[in-house]
Amino acid sequence: MRIRSWEEYLSAADRARRDPADFWGEMARGFQWMRPFETVCEADFAAPRIEWFQGGVLNITENCLDRHLAAGDGDRCALRWEPNAGEGPARSWSYRELSERVCALAAGLQRLGVAKGDRVILYLPMVPEAVVAMLACARLGAIHAVVFAGFSAQALADRIQDAGAKWVITADGLRRGDRRVGLKALVDEALAQVEGVERVVVLEVLGEEVAMRAGRDVTWASVVEGMPRFIPAAPMQSEDVLFILYTSGSTGKPKGVVHTTAGYMVYTAYSFCNVFQWEPGDVFWCTADVGWVTGHSYTTYGPLLMGATTLLFEGIPTYPHAGRCWEVIEKHGVTHFYTAPTAIRALMAHGDEPVAPFEMPTLRVLGSVGEPINEEAWHWYYERVGRGRCALVDTWWQTETGGIMISGLAGLSPEKPGHAGWPLPGIEPVIVDADGHPILTPEAQGHLCVAAPWPSMLRTTYGDHERCRTTYFASHPGMYFTGDGARRDAQGMYRIIGRVDDVINVSGHRLGTAEIESAINSAPDIVESAVVGFPHPIKGTAIYAFVVSATAPEDEIRARQAIQDEVVAGIGALARPEKIQFVPALPKTRSGKIMRRILRKIAAGETE
Ligand code: WT7
């Protein structure tokens, strides 16, 4: 599974191309199976029907936990946790301790009635119990659907409903910097709108009194009390669903991307150890919230599958000062720091002073993810944070791909600012021209597709397979369409340009124009709206809303506020438009389609 030189990269890529079944089959055999798989891959992109490692039976938590205990690594540190600044001591759990906590929660959830295949919503802060809750679900074969705790009650209700969840695991509240958010109150608000939730498990984080509804709400402490420290893992078929994660698309409401057990396991471990060139003893810090796929694959599953130490951080990079991240890196001896360009730009804006005093001698690898990294931020990250001695990997992937697809391998591959690099062995990207034809010359620019199946690709969108087909597999037959535009240079290096659909990437957070417009349109007097992205120095892209009101607003400031309130309530603060402009009408084509290209130019301040 390990690639340790550029020559090995080239030969692995070659081998994976010539005999993918042999390549992935060998990879998968390195894991613990209750019953070995019979076939490696069967895929039909037209349907789509994608199956990996069929016939196999396994549980991903045996591979994240039990396997390491059996190997005598029970005392190794699995998880470190750095709380929000000023909130008490850091925590550190060994693999044994993590395993015991996962089993106790799984046993408690089982006693409540949680069973294999049930959907469990996790709406939690960045505390170690979030990882415990994910793994406890997986232990039972229940399907976790983590909802980022920055989403509103309405957004939470939409996801509970779509998933048909009977269970919610949440906390009394969360703290970020000097802010406090009452999560349980938001859950109550959501549950006033949807039916079907039987139990809400509430973790005490803030220690604040919250309303508990008798018969429905139970504390986390009461669920785990007296529970055994070991329970056997549920046998899962390779293609049994591991989790659902909601993500935005160009149309309609967010869709539930479905990942299954074996393929996701194999690919997250493979990509984790090769991209980051992880070695035993390393401390891996991925700053992404567990509510995003990055937090699933590279805070939780990837590192734990490899027996690594993963660091979870509750705070924010600029609280109580702009040197907080560097302080945490030194405190925990972090070797790998994986974050988003928006965070780098925000820290860069504070100048070199906050980072200069921190030598960070343990740091070896820097990672970037979520949006294109501009050259200025790349150089600052490389020189000021990495002191010119760390490898820097720009990792391109998506919620749908499950794991990193195009990226350098830390320290092994040539680096070029703004370029994600080459595909991982086994990944076959294709650049397609405007007519839908693959461009075969080395240098190319167009839509980015993937021609061959890979183990951690999405299997469906929950409850709506047709939506999965039309979104990803219909526009370029025989290929998976990413929604991104990309360029390939003469050396075969990929540069991701950005979305070519109506998805906006704000601070690395993915939002659909349609969902924002639908929230805006529910504000008083609003007839219609159109939302586009425009360049922003920190966020990368910010939201610009063109709004048509039935009557010209008397007080524009108040009308703008009403729109923002509507968006914050409908989706969350992350979707709040930066600019709102009232217009008499929207530019449309003859067939009534909004001409977003023109709006994008106006929003960017182009006068042409
Ligand atoms: C979209 C996926 C899984 C990563 C977290 C975001 C953009 C992601 C890069 C990168 C340029 C990137 C793409 C992609 N993106 N990584 N290294 N360089 N763009 O996951 O929320 O599913 O968003 O993020 O546009 O399609 P996501």
DSSP 486-514: EEE-TT--EEEEEESSSEEEETTEEEEHH
Q: Is 480 exposed, middle or buried (0-12, 13-18, 19+ CB in 10 A)?
A: buried
Nearest residue by C-alpha to atom 21 in ligand 1: 510
The verdict on the CB of residue 142 being under 6 Å from ligand 1 is no
What's the confidence (pLDDT) of residue 183?
A: 98
C-alpha pair distances (Å), 226 with each of 25, 105, 222, 325 = 41, 10, 9, 38
Closest-lying ligand 1 atom to the alpha carbon of residue 397: 3
Strand partners, 532: 544
Mean pLDDT throughout 136-152? 98
Nearest residue by C-alpha to atom 1 in ligand 1: 398
What's the confidence (pLDDT) of residue 250?
A: 87
The verdict on the CB of residue 369 being under 6 Å from ligand 1 is yes
Mean pLDDT throughout 440-447? 97
What's the confidence (pLDDT) of residue 608?
A: 73
Task: Please give the backbone phi and psi of residue 506, each rounded to the nearest 5 degrees, phi first.
Answer: -105, 115
Mean pLDDT throughout 308-323? 96
What lies within 8 Å, CB to CB, of 289 at 6+ separation is: 126, 148, 149, 150, 295
Q: What would the two tokens of residue 518 be?
A: 């639908």
The verdict on the CB of residue 266 being under 6 Å from ligand 1 is no
As a whole number of angstroms, the distance between CA 503 and CA 545 comes to 14
Secondary structure element (H or E) that encloses residue 450, with its range: strand 444-450
Contact call for residues 532 and 596 (beta carbons, < 8 A):
yes
Task: Please give the backbone phi and psi of residue 110, each rounded to the nearest 5 degrees, phi first.
Answer: -60, -40
Give the three-state DSSP class for 564: helix
As a whole number of angstroms, the distance between CA 284 and CA 80 comes to 10
Query: How does strand 41-44 pair with strand 49-52?
Result: antiparallel
Q: Is the pLDDT of residue 570 over 80?
A: yes
Return the ∠ at Cα 478 (arms to 472 and 483), rounded to 5°.
Answer: 30
What lies within 8 Å, CB to CB, of 121 at 6+ separation is: 145, 146, 147, 156, 159, 160, 163, 165, 167, 168, 169
What lies within 8 Å, CB to CB, of 88 at 6+ separation is: none
The verdict on the CB of residue 395 being under 6 Å from ligand 1 is yes
pLDDT in tens, 183-229: 999 999 999 999 999 999 999 999 999 999 999 999 999 999 999 99
- Give the Å distance between the CA of 243 and the centre of ligand 1: 19
What's the confidence (pLDDT) of residue 445?
A: 98
The verdict on the CB of residue 511 being under 6 Å from ligand 1 is no
Query: How does strand 179-181 pair with strand 174-176?
Result: antiparallel
pLDDT in tens, 250-294: 888 999 999 999 999 999 999 999 999 999 999 999 999 999 999
Query: How does strand 444-450 pair with strand 429-432?
Result: antiparallel
- Give the Å distance between the CA of 455 and the centre of ligand 1: 19
Work out the number of other CB atoms within 10 angstroms of the CB of residue 574: 20
What's the confidence (pLDDT) of residue 184?
A: 98
Mean pLDDT throughout 303-316? 97
Residue 325's pLDDT band, with cuts at 50, 70 and 90, is very high
Q: How many residues does the chain have?
A: 608
Angle at which helices 261-275 and 20-29 cross, to 10°? 90
The verdict on the CB of residue 397 being under 6 Å from ligand 1 is yes
- Give the Å distance between the CA of 97 and the centre of ligand 1: 34
Q: Is the pLDDT of residue 434 over 90?
A: no
What's the confidence (pLDDT) of residue 96?
A: 98
- Name the amino acid, one letter, at 451: A
The verdict on the CB of residue 170 being under 6 Å from ligand 1 is no
Q: Is the pLDDT of residue 161 over 80?
A: yes
What's the confidence (pLDDT) of residue 497?
A: 95
Mean pLDDT throughout 428-445? 96
What's the confidence (pLDDT) of residue 350?
A: 97
Secondary structure element (H or E) that encloses residue 268, with its range: helix 261-275
As a whole number of angstroms, the distance between CA 234 and CA 487 comes to 44
Task: Cite the DSSP H helix spans in 118-200.
Answer: 128-140, 153-163, 183-191
Pocket test for ligand 1, best of 275, 398, 515 (most atoms within 8 A of CB): 398
The verdict on the CB of residue 507 being under 6 Å from ligand 1 is no
The verdict on the CB of residue 255 being under 6 Å from ligand 1 is no
What's the confidence (pLDDT) of residue 377?
A: 98
C-alpha pair distances (Å), 213 with each of 56, 100, 120, 205, 483 = 42, 29, 19, 19, 43
Closest-lying ligand 1 atom to the alpha carbon of residue 400: 22
Mean pLDDT throughout 95-113? 98
- Name the amino acid, one letter, at 204: E
Contact call for residues 432 and 444 (beta carbons, < 8 A):
no
Q: What would the two tokens of residue 11 be?
A: 């030969």
Mean pLDDT throughout 74-94? 97
Task: Please give the backbone phi and psi of residue 449, each rounded to the nearest 5 degrees, phi first.
Answer: -125, 170
As a whole number of angstroms, the distance between CA 417 and CA 344 comes to 14
Question: Where does residue 66 fall: left (phi above 0), alpha (psi -120 to 50 degrees), or beta otherwise?
Answer: alpha
What's the confidence (pLDDT) of residue 439?
A: 97
The verdict on the CB of residue 494 being under 6 Å from ligand 1 is no
Of the candidates 86, 67, 260, 88, which has an alpha carbon nearest to the alpha carbon of residue 78? 67
Using only the alpha carbons of the chain, give its radius of gyration. Answer: 23
Work out the number of other CB atoms within 10 angstroms of the CB of residue 35: 12
- Give the Å distance between the CA of 257 and the centre of ligand 1: 15
- Give the Å distance between the CA of 504 and the centre of ligand 1: 11
The verdict on the CB of residue 291 being under 6 Å from ligand 1 is no
What is the DSSP code string of 9-71? HHHHHHHHHH-HHHHHHHHHHTS--SB--S-SEEEETTTTEEEESTT-EE-HHIIIIIHHHHT
Residue 607's pLDDT band, with cuts at 50, 70 and 90, is confident
- Name the amino acid, one letter, at 443: E
